[in-house]
Amino acid sequence: MLAMLQFANRFSLPVITSAADSLIIPLHSILDRLDLSKLFPAEQPLEVELGCGDASFLVAYAGCHPRRNFIGVERLLGRLQKLDRKGRRVGLANTRGVRIESSYFLQYLLPPHSVTALHIYFPDPWPKLKHHRHRLINESFPSLARLALLPGGIVYLRTDDLDYFTQMNDAFSAAAFFERIETPARLAEISTDFERDFNSQGIPTLRAAYALID
């Protein structure tokens, strides 16, 4: 591999690495939807985490569910590289990460109705009123989630921010095609990096889950 890289660098050739070399999905085009059948060794139910950060949750959760596939979406390269390192260290074959903006990913890159669950944990709260428009979970988000999900698919939400939690619940309550359900205890017990930080400061996790009903 090293010799191949040195050879390619010397002659400015593109280096094509196989999926096994990296868990990061190379986006050759942001105009074409992903071909999910080529991403994973086995075709299995797919779950997506939006804003997966350092991927502690995703790596732990994917390790518990080898018969499901997972994609972590993250806009920061350094954090995505942690997903890659952690995932490969534990030999995860069912997990990939992609560097892209979450809404764009749902709208343009993910094949419609391909996902059984969306996980969105501690999305940036944008606490100032004038910045609320940057929040990922807004009144348009339930329709985006519906586009991504298969029938009966579920959106799992966590945050530390009460104002954002209220906005999340208002958005999903206004969408007649979702109903609120309980978060399974076995899912709730797998914490995220930010969750551990907040909880250690005495800040509790606010959780909600919504299932697609039509």
Ligand X SMILES: C[S@@+](CC[C@H](N)C(=O)[O-])C[C@H]1O[C@@H](n2cnc3c(N)ncnc32)[C@H](O)[C@@H]1O
3-state secondary structure (DSSP) of residue 98: strand
Q: Which stretch binds ligand X (CB under 6 A): 3-11, 116-124, 147-155, 174-182?
A: 116-124
Write down the least CB distance from residue 91 to ligand X, Å: 22
166/170 Cα distance (integer angstroms): 6
- Of 79, 86, 96, 146, which lies in the binding site for ligand X, with binding defined by CB under 6 A? 79
How far does the chain reach from its first CA to its final CA, in angstroms? Answer: 49
Composition of the chain by helix, strand, coil, percent to 5: 40, 20, 40
161 among known catalytic residues:
no
Write down the least CB distance from residue 16 to ligand X, Å: 26
Active site residue: 21, 32, 124, 170, which one?
Answer: 124
Write down the least CB distance from residue 87 to ligand X, Å: 15
Q: Which stretch binds ligand X (CB under 6 A): 26-34, 67-75, 170-178, 199-207?
A: 67-75
Cβ-contact 167, 137 below 8 angstroms: yes
Cβ-contact 126, 56 below 8 angstroms: no
Give the number of other CB atoms < 10 A from CB of residue 203: 12
47/70 Cα distance (integer angstroms): 5
Q: Which stretch binds ligand X (CB under 6 A): 8-16, 22-30, 180-188, 190-198?
A: 190-198
Give the number of other CB atoms < 10 A from CB of residue 105: 22
Write down the least CB distance from residue 119 to ligand X, Å: 8
List binders of ligand X among 27-56 (CB under 6 A).
Answer: 51-53
Residue closer to ligand X by CB (options 165, 194) is: 194
Contact footprint for ligand X (CB under 6 A): 51-53, 73-76, 79, 101-102, 121-124, 136, 192-195
Catalytic residues: 124
